[in-house]
Structure 1
Amino acid sequence: MDNEAREANTATRLSHTGRHVPALVTSLPSLAHIPAERRWREPPHSPSLTADGGARLSVSMWSGRIDRAALEVQADLADLPYTVSYAVRCTNLSLSIAGRSVIDGDVVPGTIVLTGPALPNARAIYREDYAILRAFVSPATVTECYEDISGRPADPSMELFGPQEADDKVLRHLMTSLMRAFADDAAPSRLFLDSLSISFAAHLIGRYHLKQEHSPKRKLSPLTPWRLNRAKAFIDAHLQQPIALADLSAAAGLSRMHFAAQFKASTGMSPHMYFLQCRVHASKRLLLDPERSIRDVAISVGFKSETHFINVFRRLVGEAPGRWRRAVP
Structure 2
Amino acid sequence: MSNSTLSSAEAMGERIPGTLLAAGLGKPWKDLLAQIFSRRQTQDVLLIPAVPEPLIVWVLSGSAVVEEREINGDWQANRVTAGDFFLTNTPTPYELRWTAAKTAPFEVMHLYLGLPLLNRAAAELYGKEFDIALRDVSGQRDRVLSSLLEPLRAELQAPRQPSALFVQGIAQSLAVHVLREYADPSGKPARRQRSGLPAFKLRRVLALMEADLDQEFHLERLAREAGLSEFHFSRAFKRSTGFSPSHFQIRMRMDQARRLLRETDKSIVEVGLEVGYSSPSRFAQLFRREVGVSPREYRDQG
Q: Could you state the TM-score of these two structures normalised by the residue count of structure 2?
A: 0.48
**Higher percent of residues as helix:** 2
Q: Could you state the TM-score of these two structures normalised by the residue count of structure 1?
A: 0.45
Larger RCO (alpha carbons 8 Å, 6+ apart): 2
